[in-house]
Structure 1
């Protein structure tokens, strides 16, 4: 992305009442979105630029408004010009969960418990006016593994049996995600802001990057949080947080199996996405994250209810690739 300011930014800020503000560009992510911190005296705000045609800020505005209505801590919208991709939002500060825990590792259990509490709160709310996380979506996502990782790794696989195995594995959970909950889909330590990190009870946690929300299974965002692609989460912490969630929500006897199903699905998708980010977009840094994601995927595949997909991996992915956890690309 260019370091230049987006066209139209000054006019938007003037119309929003921030015409004399100082603009500070912030590091970007894996998308076309760009972020700027806007300062005016002691006041600050965040400017998101989600430029069409690559981005559309309207889903962010839609989901954010709904989350606020449910009492969850999405950033307040100060001003927006959706057709140009500009959204001026509340500034949640710099204490991103992942970064803060690097400096305060002893607080890990407390901070994760509060993040799980926020999910439990979300899961007591109505599911939200969002599209369903249906089989077509699950399969489209998991095909990223065969469409991107496998060619990058130089292996030819049976794509038809891949889809069939996943459909067999995922079909049982579809009925259990009715009527469903709002699934934020990227609920992890880089997308949670600690608004009061030193608060003894964990303080408020601000939500960002929720524009792709769907209605789906309540295990999905737990997988996002506890099998984080960008941060090591120990199996011990994962088990403790699943137990904490179960103390808040009646999970039912199939929850562990569904958690493994969605863990394997999400992790296979992410491996494909990271391969695509490297191969298509030239973003080398994502390759280093693949082994962490693959390790979690292998744990999920060990669940007996994942046997059809595990058998597909046995038949299609060479042992040396699995042994190095998908590493070695590039």
Structure 2
């Protein structure tokens, strides 16, 4: 097999399985008559290891995603791949845009990590292709993204919190549990978690404002430009695929990463709201938005630590202090 992993430092968070392990995974999924011809790691992701695999006798490649070893996962990021798998029936509204699961294995019998094989979607990552269009065409992309987010958010769930659980009866319980997990993760890597714990305390004290959210709506978790594929031949931006729904949860729509990013700048992304609709802008909703932003910043801090970006970690403390000032 032609094996082409991404070369990383020995201590990097992402560690590639060996060629032999990938061959064993393919035997488990497809049997011994369709060995892999090649496995090329795609370097865009920052959590799972992702490979485009060519198989003997198959005209189209497949995508293999391999999760980090359980012991390397933060408490707040446990079994994200399993969460995505559990989300698929809830994401049926956008299934034509999503890859289909061919095989998944949480047993660790073949390799000591969760893995999933999916169909390969045609298209070019939006960060690579959107810039080939004039900026006057970019609103077309964000209008499509707004429509996709709206259709996902229209789905109601049975509980608050991650789709795969644990489930909570109220939104405040889910948010506070998430903040506490993030704080514990920060402690585990030697980072100061005091500001995250302060936000958790504020959320607990004023939980009634969070609990004005009474319907658990499906959140994409991580949907933005980096997780979209575009038609390479279309005369204007056309989303042909969406990827990586491992952070889905049921909660308040304004807590979704997609909404956070759509609100971040007043530029072409304003077209997002034309198809999505308006948000609640009441004082209570804006207060909740600060709590949600703090949760995003805590998760961002952990990611930056994982990627060994100390300056970016420090920036997260400055941003969190602004959030705390707004909550006081």
Give the TM-score, by structure 1 length: 0.69
CA distance in structure 1 between the partners assigned to 2:304 and 2:288 by the alignment? 24
Q: Choose 71-80 or 132-141, whichever is displaced more.
A: 132-141
- CA shift, 1:287, in A, is 1.1
Task: Give 1:11's match in structure 2, choosing from 16, 24, 34.
Answer: 24
- CA shift, 1:69, in A, is 6.3
Give 2:131's aligned residue.
102
Give 1:139's aligned residue.
176
Give 1:60's aligned residue.
84
Closer/same/farther in 2, CA of residues 189 and 58 from structure 1, 3 Å limit = same
Which SS does the other structure have where 1:270 is aligned?
A: helix
Q: Does 1:45 align with 2:45?
A: no
CA distance in structure 2 between the partners assigned to 1:262 and 1:98 by the alignment? 30
Which SS does the other structure have where 2:211 is aligned?
A: helix
**Partner deviation per Cα, 1:204-255 (whole Å, 9 max, x = no partner):** 443322123221122233424415xxxxx532445443354227xxx5xx44
Closer/same/farther in 2, CA of residues 112 and 136 from structure 1, 3 Å limit = same
Which SS does the other structure have where 1:171 is aligned?
A: helix
Q: Does 1:220 align with 2:220?
A: no
Which SS does the other structure have where 1:43 is aligned?
A: coil
Q: Does 1:234 align with 2:265?
A: yes
Give 2:219's aligned residue.
183
CA distance in structure 2 between the partners assigned to 1:168 and 1:255 by the alignment? 22
CA distance in structure 2 between the partners assigned to 1:217 and 1:158 by the alignment? 20
Which SS does the other structure have where 1:176 is aligned?
A: coil
Give 2:4's aligned residue.
none
**Contiguous gaps of at least 5 residues in structure 1:** 228-232, 302-307, 313-330
Aligned length: 287
- CA shift, 1:197, in A, is 5.4
Give 2:10's aligned residue.
none
**Partner deviation per Cα, 1:85-119 (whole Å, 9 max, x = no partner):** 22110112452223322333523211111011011
CA distance in structure 1 between the partners assigned to 2:23 and 2:219 by the alignment? 35
CA distance in structure 2 between the partners assigned to 1:7 and 1:261 by the alignment? 52
**Partner deviation per Cα, 1:20-57 (whole Å, 9 max, x = no partner):** 331001216443x2110112464111101125424633
CA distance in structure 1 between the partners assigned to 2:233 and 2:99 by the alignment? 20
Closer/same/farther in 2, CA of residues 99 and 169 from structure 1, 3 Å limit = farther
**Contiguous gaps of at least 5 residues in structure 2:** 1-13, 109-113
The 5 Å alignment of 1:256-271 reads 257=283, 260-271=286-297
Give 2:102's aligned residue.
78
Task: Give 1:207's match in structure 2, choosing from 222, 242, 253.
Answer: 242
Closer/same/farther in 2, CA of residues 79 and 258 from structure 1, 3 Å limit = farther
Give 2:302's aligned residue.
276
Task: Give 1:27's match in structure 2, choosing from 43, 66, 74.
Answer: 43
Check whether the contact 1:189–1:225 (CA below 8 A) recurs between aligned residues: no
The 5 Å alignment of 1:159-170 reads 159-160=197-198, 162-167=199-204
Which SS does the other structure have where 2:273 is aligned?
A: helix
Give 1:287's aligned residue.
312
Give 2:119's aligned residue.
90
Check whether the contact 1:274–1:287 (CA below 8 A) recurs between aligned residues: no
